[in-house]
Structure 1
Amino acid sequence: MAPPYSPVSVTGTIAKLYHNSRSLPEEAATSGSSSAPGTFPDNVSRIDIDLSSIQPLNVFPKDIIVSKGVQFPPSARHLQIRFSDPLRTRLLVRPRIAFQLRKSLNDLAFTEVETPILFKSTPEGAREFLVPTRRPGYAYALPQSPQQYKQMLMASGIRGYYQFARFTDFVQLDLEMGFATGEDVMRTVETIISDLTALLEADFTVVEQGGEVYLAPRQSLKATEQDYPAAGSPYATPPFPRMSYEDAMTRFGIDKPDLRIPFEINRLDGLLPQSFVSMITDLDHPVVEGFRFRPSEAEDDIRPVVAKFVDDLMKNLPPALANNPDGAPVALVVDSSKPLRGLAPLGFEGTTALESSNLSQFQDLEDGDVLVFQARQNKPFQGGSTALGTLRTLFYQTAVSKSLLPRDLTFRFLWVTDFPMFTPHDNDSTDPGQGGSAGFSATHHPFTAPLTDADVELLATDPLKARADHYDLVVNGVELGGGSRRIHVARMQEYVMREILKMSDAGVAQFAHLLEALRAGCPPHAGFALGFDRLVAVLTYTDSVRDVIAFPKSMKGEDLTVKSPGRVEEGQLEVYHLALREKK
């Protein structure tokens, strides 16, 4: 008898086939059933066999200990995949999602085109991986995206392009449409997402095992796994709602808001007394914002539970929030047993002003409600989030983990639009931008077109106020992808690079191939790039893309399974005309 987990060859005769059903399985006739090798017949979830023999093929080592919920080290990734149902089923779901996306785009008459994975270094706005060559002083660069190639394809007459493009260890679904606007692209993306969610709802189910929720094929559902209760479809249907960048930052403090979070941010500095404002910040004339967190209803007194929750969360804030130079956040718990119901720092004036305002979430305060306040500089929004926006998301996620709010398994898709075209450089930033001397860089990339004619005029007068025709697809606080209408006129593209971003002649020359393609008569075009790994992770209920990649890299970019990267030997360096420089 072979030890448990050993691979075996089983020989026998089929006795029964059990068809997929939500009820008890029924015996089915075996005649006429057929399937591909290694798979069950269609709609069959179980096969009973009259056993003839079991022959061990290999022996599972005794020194490998397997227990329920075992976590193997990254060096044994093959074992983690083998013994983790959530991980293995996510890897099975991934190609089904890819197949459906490819089918939808093919049905829409898109052409799949493969672009080179060895490119050249160009200042688009992100750091690159260089690939040395045997020619002294020459190197390839791994492309940051197929952006320039796909725009050249638009100039070549390809009306609709797509590609599952790989960059280092991640994959994005890239697409571009000629003679199209951003509206056309957003409608197309909504179509393929709608097709995908229809497939997921038909062929997959949400299950819970060992406290972990994940998506699994219905055919693979085991008796030990249970359907996770859900009311109605978890997927939103198109058209997806839209929100401007300014509106998202104002209401949620983040440019990828999670619409499941049941509380929004309000500006409060006009309602709060100066004595309280001066307690929470040293800024002159700051903006003070806040939100109300209300836990789920409970039969018992919720105040002690909420007080401990808030105390623990505020004591363990990330350093960027706890040490915010604009001032740390303040959280007050409403408690009728305390002076001014726990809102004494606001004073009678501030408490009355809040409760009598037209802000509904600050009216009718109840015991256990939490009021959170944060100050920031009074200047236009820039970047992806404010401190309060980050804290709002942390409050929600922690409250769900502590069962103070219910877990919401729905998917709330959203388009965020009207981003600023340019972003000022942060003095502490290591982002190379586009290498210009303007003091700012393109928010996304320098090929994005201005949103309106008024924004075109702002390029010459006040470029930091110009908006871009850019759109991000967001779901549940995750940016799934982004796209834009492109600049399709060579003179405009060169003007943005040379006159707005102040790129050098050498910098502009690196884009000569693209400028020449635009000059040849490129049609108006727009596109989108969908983070495929993120999409699979979100739809299979995991926060980490490493859970949907068979052999992922660590945070340091290391493959701990095969121990890469490896050291380069002296002989290899000579081949590529490289040398190691000692640190001073």
Structure 2
Amino acid sequence: MRFDADLRQRLQFRASIAAFIRSQLSARFTEVETPILFKSTPEGAREFLVPTRKGGYAYALPQSPQQYKQILMASGIKNYFQFARCFRDEDLRADRQPEFTQVDMEMAFATGQTVMNAVERLIKKIHLFCDQKFPNSVSVASISQDDAFFLMPYHHAMSKHGSDKPDLRISGLIHDIGAVIPAQLRDMLTSKSDPMVEAFKFRLNAPPKEVQKFIRKFMDSPEAEPFRSNADGAPGICIFDSTNPIEGLHIFGFEGAEKVKAVWETQSKLPYEDGPTFESNKFFEDGDLLIIQARENLPLSGGSTALGRLRIAIYKAAIAEKLIEPDPSLRYLWVVDFPMFTPDNESDPGQGGTAGFSATHHPFTAPQSAEDVDLLLIDPLKAKADHYDLVVNGVELGGGSRRIHNAEMQKFIMRDILKMSQERIDDFSHLFSALESGCPPHAGFAIGFDRFIAVLTGRESVKDVIAFPKSSKGEDMMVKSPSKITDVELARYHLALADDVSRDTSPDVGVVAEDTITANAIAEKPPTAE
């Protein structure tokens, strides 16, 4: 840090933004610090446990202050905020640390829209503050103070962008082409019997032969390994070339090629699309790159599709090769209409129920409407949550929701829908007591402060805006933590090493790994228990 003036400047910038946020929120919100030593509850992410000298007992570090702030709402604190330290024992990557900071907010007698409006106003004020205070020292892209952030349903984000964190700077949207491609091509793309076949098109600043060289280099790279080995089938690739037979679209056949081109020519402009770019991209030109991918024909779930991840990876690679001009703008949007529940997978612990699915964000999120309450009994996976994510340039800055404020409804979700064990449900008895005492309707939000500062300063890794970040192995290279537990400490806290864990007596070796956003990292959907 002593020899990195840029890092010192970013830390000073971070401190200024924190002070500004505090000054803005203090007028309407009460800043309340909630405990760091909490208890283990199944919110959605893995926890860090803190053993105590009382044998068999441990604290858990909070994934978020979620339950405490809901109790505050039931205790007469109308509007709450804090700069909350949060802890999640998750796999690390460029935008994730085991401990991080949230600007945590909650509002009583508020709807989700009320909270979204408050957050949007705050974000715009922060940008205005940056324009005035840091015109030269820190380059922060300006945003419109008048235009509202775009509102995008989850299903649209997943089907058109292949991600629930859309980057609006990427102009090539995904289209369903399954109905216009020949059956022979479908069989070449995948072994699935009834697949969904989708495609996107990028316009690159290069002739067909250069584009061919670029995409071959990319597909041969380690970055593309997850796409080459996709269980649904490897992607199909076409490069439009008017000098070639069927203009480079020969895999579709003559009739199929015309139908594929018509898919793009008949698209209608979406509100967030740039007019001239949209009109230009409706038609195929020499060097246009067309990527085709099959997938299982199932309802969209999770955080991304294989084609969505490939789209982002190619976009970044094309920028690196100067085939696409980088766009320095910041494009904010709200993603809404999330499903309340998501089918279980191996990477997320969920809430530990036996229903086969878990709460998409956390089990305290309220259903979006009365219709969605009815769907809880009929088809829970079709129920929508009153949840909203704030996204900018493909980065999830934060999430929030309207909460369940009725104890019986909260118990019903955990017991009858998620099918959690009574033992795990009892872990939330403190929350039920608060709700039963009379709790107003409330909603909240949490901004990932580290990510936000990284976005404002144009950094891809949150490590670049933290004074003492952990490495990709979760190690603090300055103080060499985590450290080994001594025999004395094991005895003091009534702990013992498992039989299959050998005590490592070798000296600590620090390994610093570069954190970059890879295709595998993009594929992961972190739980957001705000």
Taking the aligned partners of 2:232 and 2:319, their CA distance within structure 1 comes to 28
104, 109, 117: which one pairs with 1:174?
A: 104
265, 272, 278: which one pairs with 2:187?
A: 278
Taking the aligned partners of 1:236 and 1:263, their CA distance within structure 2 comes to 27
Query: Relative to structure 2, which stretch is displaced further, 533-542 or 278-287?
Result: 278-287
219, 237, 240: which one pairs with 1:334?
A: 240
In structure 2, what is the equivalent of residue 305 of structure 1? 210
Taking the aligned partners of 2:47 and 2:66, their CA distance within structure 1 comes to 14
Taking the aligned partners of 1:551 and 1:411, their CA distance within structure 2 comes to 27
Taking the aligned partners of 2:56 and 2:363, their CA distance within structure 1 comes to 27
In structure 2, what is the equivalent of residue 322 of structure 1? 228
TM (norm. structure 1) is 0.79
272, 275, 291: which one pairs with 2:200?
A: 291
In structure 2, what is the equivalent of residue 183 of structure 1? 113
Greater strand proportion: 1
Change (3 A) 1:307 1:356: same
- Percent of aligned pairs with the same residue? 54
In structure 2, what is the equivalent of residue 354 of structure 1? 260
Change (3 A) 1:580 1:165: same
Code of the aligned partner of 2:388: Y
Code of the aligned partner of 2:482: P
The CA deviation string for residues 332-367 of structure 1, in whole angstroms up to 9 with x for no partner, is 111223222221111112111112344457753111
1:112–1:161 contact (8 Å) kept in structure 2: yes
Taking the aligned partners of 1:274 and 1:480, their CA distance within structure 2 comes to 42
Taking the aligned partners of 2:432 and 2:105, their CA distance within structure 1 comes to 20
What SS is found at the alignment partner of 1:482? strand
1:172–1:530 contact (8 Å) kept in structure 2: yes
In structure 1, what is the equivalent of residue 23 of structure 2? 103
Taking the aligned partners of 1:272 and 1:237, their CA distance within structure 2 comes to 44
Query: Relative to structure 2, which stretch is displaced further, 416-425 or 360-369?
Result: 360-369
Change (3 A) 1:236 1:411: farther
**Alignment partner of 1:215 is 2:135:** no
**Stretches of structure 2 lacking an aligned partner (at least 5 in a row):** 88-98, 268-277, 502-530
1:194–1:237 contact (8 Å) kept in structure 2: no
What SS is found at the alignment partner of 1:375? strand
The CA deviation string for residues 492-547 of structure 1, in whole angstroms up to 9 with x for no partner, is 11111111111111111110000010000100000001100000001100100000
What SS is found at the alignment partner of 2:139? strand
2:127–2:143 contact (8 Å) kept in structure 1: no
Bigger Rg over Cα: 1
What SS is found at the alignment partner of 1:165? strand
261, 264, 269: which one pairs with 2:170?
A: 261
Flag the structure with more relative contact order, 1 or 2, with Cα contacts below 8 A and sequence separation at least 6: 2
Q: How big is the shift at 1:129?
A: 0.3
In structure 2, what is the equivalent of residue 49 of structure 1? none
What SS is found at the alignment partner of 2:148? coil
Taking the aligned partners of 1:559 and 1:514, their CA distance within structure 2 comes to 35
**Alignment partner of 1:490 is 2:395:** no
Taking the aligned partners of 2:416 and 2:438, their CA distance within structure 1 comes to 22
Q: How big is the shift at 1:237?
A: 4.6
The CA deviation string for residues 250-297 of structure 1, in whole angstroms up to 9 with x for no partner, is 11110000001111000000111111111111111111000111024x
Taking the aligned partners of 1:356 and 1:455, their CA distance within structure 2 comes to 37
In structure 1, what is the equivalent of residue 380 of structure 2? 463
Code of the aligned partner of 1:455: D
2:124–2:143 contact (8 Å) kept in structure 1: no
Taking the aligned partners of 1:262 and 1:129, their CA distance within structure 2 comes to 41
**Alignment partner of 1:552 is 2:476:** no
What SS is found at the alignment partner of 2:26? helix
Taking the aligned partners of 1:355 and 1:570, their CA distance within structure 2 comes to 70
Measured on the aligned residues, the alpha-carbon RMSD in Å equals 1.6
In structure 1, what is the equivalent of residue 511 of structure 2? none
Q: How big is the shift at 1:581?
A: 2.1
What SS is found at the alignment partner of 1:247? helix
Taking the aligned partners of 1:495 and 1:141, their CA distance within structure 2 comes to 25
The CA deviation string for residues 283-338 of structure 1, in whole angstroms up to 9 with x for no partner, is 11111000111024xxxx62232121111112224332221110111221112232
**Alignment partner of 1:539 is 2:456:** yes
Q: How big is the shift at 1:83?
A: 2.7
Change (3 A) 1:523 1:234: closer
Code of the aligned partner of 1:489: N
User: 1:99-498 maps to which residues of 2 (within 5 A)?
Assistant: 99-107=19-27, 109-168=28-87, 169-205=99-135, 215=139, 233-234=142-143, 237-296=146-205, 302-316=207-221, 317-357=223-263, 358-360=265-267, 363-426=282-345, 429-498=346-415
Taking the aligned partners of 2:444 and 2:143, their CA distance within structure 1 comes to 27
1:419–1:467 contact (8 Å) kept in structure 2: yes
Taking the aligned partners of 1:99 and 1:302, their CA distance within structure 2 comes to 50
Code of the aligned partner of 1:326: D
TM (norm. structure 2) is 0.87
1:354–1:363 contact (8 Å) kept in structure 2: no
The CA deviation string for residues 3-55 of structure 1, in whole angstroms up to 9 with x for no partner, is xxxxxxxxxxxxxxxxxxxxxxxxxxxxxxxxxxxxxxxxxxxxxxxxxxxxx
In structure 2, what is the equivalent of residue 67 of structure 1? none
Code of the aligned partner of 1:215: S
Taking the aligned partners of 1:394 and 1:202, their CA distance within structure 2 comes to 35
Number of equivalenced pairs: 476
Taking the aligned partners of 1:306 and 1:118, their CA distance within structure 2 comes to 55
What SS is found at the alignment partner of 2:2? helix
Taking the aligned partners of 1:347 and 1:92, their CA distance within structure 2 comes to 59
**Stretches of structure 1 lacking an aligned partner (at least 5 in a row):** 1-80, 208-213, 217-229
